[in-house]
Structure 1
Amino acid sequence: MNWRERYRSKLCTPEEAVARIPNYASVRMPMGPVPLTLVRALAQREDTLRGIRLFQGSSRQPIPFLEEPERWQGKVEFVADFVSAILRPAIEQRWADFLVTDYSVGSRSQHFDRTDIWHPDVFLAVVSEPDSDGLVSFGYTLWHSRQFLQNARLRIAEVAPDVLRTFGDNAVPLDAFDWIVEARDYLAPPPPPELSPERIEVTEVVGAYVSTLVHDGDTVQIGTGTLSSCMGLYLTGKNDLGIDAEILVATAVELVKLGVATGKYKTFHPGVATASFIVPGSDFAFCHLNPRIALYDIEWCNSLPRIAQIQNLVAINQASMIDLTGQVASESIGAVMYTGPGGQLVWSMGALYAPGGRSVIVLPSTARHGTVSRIVATLPEGTLVTVPRTFVDYVVTEHGIVNLQGKTQRERAKALIEIAHPRFRDELTDYANRTFWPRRRIFGP
């Protein structure tokens, strides 16, 4: 008996499935992959839709409600908790909203008088075809999916071919869904963009600096920024690294493939690289049913008390800018969301608390082809602080490494100016002298 026969009583057309979604429902989708067949079927109800709130983060495929967002006002409101390139225009034009949350505390919203985002009316998800035990996988992302499957009032699965399976907690019974449809429009997620030649040069220098901060036997967390995600390339000469992270970037997967990341000394799940999401562009064929790769719920991965227990943790994350006091901004340009906080705060804090831990913030010294400094006197108006200055440890640009812990405001300003691009050091020095010293000039450029 094939799976279609086994689940015949729940199998329906996409149109029949989405007809069961009531107006004014909250609809959740997993982080990353979009159940395109179901979403497109829902869009066919345009004339009758009212007040739907559709939640998803880091969307990797086009969504009809964002392609012509003005058409959907009053019908479908899209809410993101992490902004990808596909979502960015709708966020910038204020057609979509942003959910302010920390993934490690999402379930706490159901308690007291908080706004409960933990019990959606509807959960839509792409899943793999079931195995012989009737279990399906959420593919390259687990995140909160198991919890939403448990808590939603209506649960609809979109079964697609060739969906990645992993070890860990990334398997649920297909029977847990109320209705099942077959995917008509499954699209593989696009690969990440290639780096420009000038960014490659910066990456190589920053990578060389970062490699000096990582030791044999350390456990590393590598963030998803275009610069930070490349840092695994510069750790291939290390031995017995561990991978414990929010997200597995492609270079972290390569460290496992090369036998560099054996996980021998990991505090949690020794011998296994753990996360809640695998970045598209990684070697999915290697990750598929590989016992050395496992996905777990994001609240477990990003739990600050757990992270603080990881022996010799090195957390490597990327900032978009940093001011002279050490405040790190990584998620917005002014008040407009550009990405999201992700787990950068809990990993930066956790690494400082962890025995033998280190937190590393990387960033190019400039943006816009060298015309703008990313080390700034003050953050632009409205810019959100992702990591408070008190929890910033190492900062690395292509001009060097500094450590901010134990430094005064004056010492921090001087240290950060030393790793700024030379073109901007004079103006940063002038600001520092006027702001942090009582006399006009205390130190030179």
Structure 2
Amino acid sequence: MTDLVERVREVLPSVRRDLEGLVRIESVWADPDRQGEVHRSAQAVAELLAQAGFDDVRTVSDSGAPAVIARYPAPPGAPTVLLYAHHDVQPEGDHEQWVSPPFEPTERDGRLYGRGSADDKAGIATHLAAFRAHGGRPPVGVTVFVEGEEESGSPSLGRLLAAHRDTLAADVIVIADSDNWSTDIPALTVTLRGMADCVVEVATLDHGLHSGLWGGVIPDALSVLVRLLASLHDDEGNVAVAGLHEGTAAPVDYPPERVRTDSGLLEGVSEIGSGSVPQRLWAKPAITVIGIDTTPVAAASNTLIPRARAKISMRVAPGGDAAAHLDALEAHLRRHTPWGAQVDVTRGELGQPYAVTTTGPVYDAARSAFRQAWGTDPVEMGMGGSIPFIAEFAAAFPQAAILVTGVEDPATQAHSVNESLDLGVLERAAITEALFLTELA
């Protein structure tokens, strides 16, 4: 095992160069003007996998973004492992808020900054490092699947899994797209909340009215919307929609000072909701208003606004059904719209929650690899965010053991400005994966 660890460390400089090359590609599938960059990113990933020693490398799509599949067949009697990552990234947001350019990888204080440096091009780097450390000939079969539209909700993933089921079939699936407990303590993600969203629009008038002439008699749509959105939570900040599922989180200590540090909560701002932090983050529903369309302040006039709308995002606790939860949210919105205002609800995306069972030889092998690479057992943690495609993998390959790992940590700031990767975590994640392939054999 010592030799394998050293081989991982020997290949890491080249892996980092390749990761930096991928970060420089602006692979934002959600931006139509940069979808060509996603194709360029897929080509770069395919070339890296071919150079690493995969003989069968193909780029595929099904009316969506390009994905890359690379296969190394299993030696006789050995299992096959599917290693997942995605090469598309979130939009970078305001460049002025980045300390260094978002698509120019920059190292500061042991962290590599750049959009996708962690989420999830570091997942690709981890797979490359593990495969290269084995000299391109690991003791198990390895299939790498690198998706191109995860940050857009994986709309064509189900079709890809169906079309390439035989190629992607595996005994073990490793999803390298999650978090670690800290830069020193690894994690296996064992529960994931699902998601559902909708757009609610309220209307009170067929045209705007002078607020001085009609204010106090006629309700404006923005006031209606504000009151309606406020009804989604009680005074403590708990979700107030009836009929939503709540599970039970693992008894993991998450002190208030860590919440404040990890989240960047401002001085004087309190947490919301009741129950432990893991319970609220991993096992209870959450509702967030993520956008409002109305008259901007700069264009405001003394006018009663006739229409306003908002986008609402809901997280669904493991054990709940995303479609049923969206039904409950829609019923709440219609029931609580004040003053008889007209309301329209447009349903959006659904993603089911998932809970992973972590018993058996595959998970024993994973824990052994974590212990050797990190010097400690992994924390079995939940994830407040959603990775809906995991349920699709579970449905497509029901006999496969699924491990959800990752190269992120609480300081990564995935999806935000100044996203970064801890380079020490990358090393330990790569060592873990290389050891895991050996442990499975």
Pair in the same fold by TM > 0.5: no
- Give the number of the structure whose residues are more often strand, by fraction: 2
TM-score normalized by structure 1?
0.20
- Give the number of the structure whose residues are more often helix, by fraction: 2
Greater RCO structure (CA 8 Å; 6+ sep): 2
TM-score normalized by structure 2?
0.20
